[in-house]
Amino acid sequence: MGKNAVEELPYTIVPDGSVTTPAGFRAGGLHCGLKKTTRFDLGAIVCEVPATAAAVYTTNVFQAAPLQVTRDSISQEGKLQAVLVNSGNANACTGKQGEEDAYRMRSTLAQRLGIAEHYVAVASTGVIGELLKMDRVLKGVESLPAKLTDQNSGADDFCQAILTTDLVKKECCVQVRVDGKIVTIAGAAKGSGMIHPNMATMLAFMTTDAEIERESLQRLLGQTTDVTFNMITVDGDTSTNDMLVAMASGLAGNNKLHEGHPDWPAFAAAFRRVCEHLAQAIARDGEGATKLIEVNVAGAATEEGARAIAKTVIGSSLVKSAVFGADANWGRIIAAVGRSGVPVDPETVDIRIGDIVMLEQSRPIPFDEEAALEYLKGQTVVIHVDLHMGQGEATAWGCDLTYDYVRINAAYRT
């Protein structure tokens, strides 16, 4: 059932898996000329059958044209057979022309694949406010089907094609048994800057060969997004192009999944594992980042309150700067907790950085500064906050704020 199984988990991680590992999927990518370098900038994932589809989108009021196209596609039958993605240009705030260009991308790929137009979703990422160089895009779309393969090489090309300021590709694959059949769930994502979820601040694409009811897939996608992609931040900015699309080919041979299916909890846990891995990978690869920060909040009155506090702490520029400088400044953490907008008892808060206790019942505890310094120099920093008010828990992920973040974004268009 895959490699490196963990006994207590209902799923198995497939370390060499990709979005093409689930049955029925191919992927590929190429350079069409949107980027100034020769890096790939156009990619697609294609399913051999119309796949059950679900999606979530940015809540930014200014939504890029591809989001409208994808909504339109999914709304017609609740199925997709292809996702076409370009990087290097967001096709956002581009008016009627941008909308027409996104629909042309959809129709051109549909014609090349011989499928209905509404079976194609479109996604874009890159600079806002510039029209696509459609001659280059359409030429690339014409060539793309020949690049598609069900091998990992196709998935790798797709992952490279969707990157902007990302330094590394982001993917994950797991397997789980449903009705005795092996079901595979995989995902690929991009995201490094303009990351502050109010949905999922990035582009992400999930494939599975599970047979699943569309409504159940949509609910699972939304619920899982809330506790994974919606719990990451890099810089407090929510993009105009954020989109998370899931496609289920139904080729695994299982009985149709839904919330009442006996194997639903195992499938949902596996689905969450893929999303959580991708979310953490985005946070770790934040623009200019040197460290992944994890904030665990416990003892909140509600889960919603715990989420709000965790996201406030992880999003604090002062906390992020302190972690970059390896400064064990717990005062910045408690200040972020206090301004989260969530009711907190100011007399009962505990704070730990790693295993080092710094605050108990809201009172400072002497700690070893040298030990804290060494811990904060590591690549992963975990902050624990316990409010002692209830059972609400949540985890958020982010990264440190470095000089390079400013350098990268000061010259983003140039």
Enumerate the domain spans of the chain: 16-284, 292-410
- Ranges of H-type helices in 184-302: 214-227, 264-284
Long-range contacts of 313-317 (CB under 8 A, 24+ apart): 313/337, 313/340, 313/383, 313/385, 313/396, 314/231, 314/232, 314/233, 314/396, 314/397, 314/398, 315/196, 315/233, 315/236, 315/398, 317/236, 317/401
Strand partners for 189: 170, 204
Q: Which helix (H) or strand (E) holds 340?
A: none
For this structure, is 201 an active site residue? yes
CATH class, domain 16-284, is: alpha beta
294 Cβ partners below 8 Å, 6+ apart?
380, 381, 382, 383, 395, 396, 397
What pLDDT shows up at residue 201?
47
Q: Which residue has the tokens 């919330």?
A: 259
Looking at residue 294, its pLDDT comes to 96
Helix axes 303-315 and 317-324, enclosed angle (nearest 10): 60
| Cα–Cα dist 101/67, whole Å | 12
- For the chain, state the CA radius of gyration: 22
As a whole number of angstroms, the distance between CA 93 and CA 46 comes to 28
Q: Which of 283, 304, 293, 272 is nearest to 234 (CA)?
A: 283
pLDDT of the chain along its 414 residues, tens only? 443 443 478 999 999 999 999 999 999 999 999 998 899 999 999 999 999 999 999 877 788 999 999 999 999 999 999 999 999 999 999 999 999 999 999 999 999 999 999 999 999 998 889 999 999 999 999 999 999 999 999 999 999 999 877 778 889 999 999 999 999 999 999 876 554 555 444 789 999 999 999 999 999 999 999 999 989 876 555 567 788 999 999 999 999 999 999 999 999 999 999 999 999 998 887 677 889 999 999 999 999 999 999 999 999 999 999 999 999 999 999 999 999 999 999 999 999 999 999 999 999 999 999 999 999 999 999 999 999 999 999 999 998 888 877 776 676 555
Predicted confidence at residue 6, as pLDDT, reads 38
351 vs 333: CA distance, rounded Å: 8
Helix (H, G, I), strand (E, B) or coil at 255: coil
**3-state DSSP call for residue 81?**
strand
Q: Report the topology of domain 292-410.
A: Ubiquitin-like (UB roll) (3.10.20)
3-state secondary structure of 374: helix
For 241-389, strand residue ranges (E) read 243-248, 292-300, 350-353, 356-360, 363-364, 380-386
Query: Out of 201, 208, 312, 395, which one is annotated catalytic?
Result: 201
How far is residue 182's CA from residue 173's CA, in Å, rounded to a whole number?
Answer: 13
Which residues, 6+ apart, have CB-to-CB distance to 326 below 8 Å? 373, 376, 377
- Distance CA(286)–CA(280), nearest Å, equals 10
Looking at residue 282, the DSSP 8-state letter turns out to be: H
Amino acid at 82: A
**What integer pLDDT is reported at residue 4 of this predicted model?**
43
Report the alpha-carbon distance of residue 98 to residue 91 in Å, rounded: 6
| 358, burial (CB in 10 Å: exposed 0-12, middle 13-18, buried 19+) | buried
